[in-house]
């Protein structure tokens, strides 16, 4: 069980880190923006630019990067069935005793729920943000939705950071978003079916698709 297993391609990692950096850029610029003056103008422009970079950057990676890997991840994250519902039902008990229920596939139901929630909240933030640009913030209930969406997204990101950096049982996933690979033993403990399938195929289905993409300049954009 020694060694490492490829979990994420450069394109998948690129989308993740672009989204993370853009979110914090949007959060900081949104919190410190004033009502008037040069500082307000600079922060407001920074806020709008960050939102544009996020959308444009993700689109560029999708076009120029490993579309197959991105599409596969999207399908897996958006597939939610009865097994995932059972996993979520059992999750509170495992949180209390400090253990983690192994995932049934490449992603567990918590990761799928987090992905769907983040996508929904970003849609709310973009729609409410456009409305705020047009209508302004004064007596605008949609702007209140923008604030609430920011708070909810911040809570999700805080939980994600905790799981990635602090929680002993899940922080082994972090190398997957840094180098693309995770420890094989850790992967088998948390994603046994996926890891066994990778080993059973000699990781061919994943590695043959992803290794060329990792080595190309376009995928590292």
Write the DSSP string, 84-131. HHHHHHHHHHHHHHT--PPPSSSS-HHHHHHHHHHHHHHHHHHHHHHH
**What are the beta bridge partners of residue 4?**
183
Taking residues 118-144, what's their average pLDDT? 89
Query: Would you say 111 and 78 are in contact if contact means Cβ atoms under 8 Å apart?
Result: no
pLDDT at 104: 80
Q: What is the pTM of this model?
A: 0.83
Residue 215: pLDDT above 80?
Answer: no
- Whether residue 10 contacts residue 219, with contact meaning beta carbons closer than 8 Å, is answered with yes
DSSP category for residue 57: H
User: Shortest CA distance to 100 belongs to which of 86, 90, 114, 113?
Assistant: 90
Domains in the chain with CATH codes:
8-220 (1.20.950.20)
Residue range 169-199, pLDDT digits in tens: 888 999 999 999 999 999 998 899 899 888 7
61-79 per-position pLDDT tens digit: 999 999 999 999 999 999 9
pLDDT of residue 116: 95
What is the model's pLDDT at position 170?
A: 86
Helix extents (H) in 166-203: 174-178, 184-190, 192-200
Residue-level pLDDT at 206:
44
Is residue 195 packed enough to be buried (19+ CB in 10 Å), middle (13-18) or exposed (0-12)?
buried
**Tens of pLDDT, residues 5-36:** 999 999 999 999 999 999 999 999 999 887 77
Q: What is the pLDDT of residue 6?
A: 93
Percent of the chain predicted with pLDDT > 90:
59
């Amino acid at each position: 069980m020694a060694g490492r297993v490829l979990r994420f391609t450069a394109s998948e990692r690129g989308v993740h880190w672009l989204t993370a950096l853009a979110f914090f850029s949007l959060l900081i610029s949104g919190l410190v923006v004033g009502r008037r003056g040069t500082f307000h103008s600079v922060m407001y422009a920074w806020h709008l630019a960050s939102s544009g970079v996020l959308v444009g950057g993700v689109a560029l990676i999708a076009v120029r990067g490993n579309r197959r890997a991105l599409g596969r991840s999207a399908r897996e994250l958006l597939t939610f069935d009865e097994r995932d519902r059972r996993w979520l039902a059992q999750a509170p008990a495992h949180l209390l005793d400090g253990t983690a229920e192994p995932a049934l596939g490449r992603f567990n139901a918590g990761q799928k729920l987090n992905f769907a929630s983040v996508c929904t909240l970003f849609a709310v933030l973009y729609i409410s943000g456009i409305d705020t640009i047009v209508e302004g913030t004064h007596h605008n209930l949609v702007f209140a939705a923008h604030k609430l969406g920011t708070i909810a997204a911040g809570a999700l990101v805080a939980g994600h950071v905790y799981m990635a950096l602090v929680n002993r049982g899940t922080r082994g996933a972090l190398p997957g978003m840094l180098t693309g690979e995770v420890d094989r033993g850790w992967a088998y403990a948390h994603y046994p079916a996926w890891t066994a399938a990778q080993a059973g195929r000699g990781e061919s289905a994943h590695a043959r698709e992803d290794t060329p993409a990792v080595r190309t300049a376009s995928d590292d954009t």
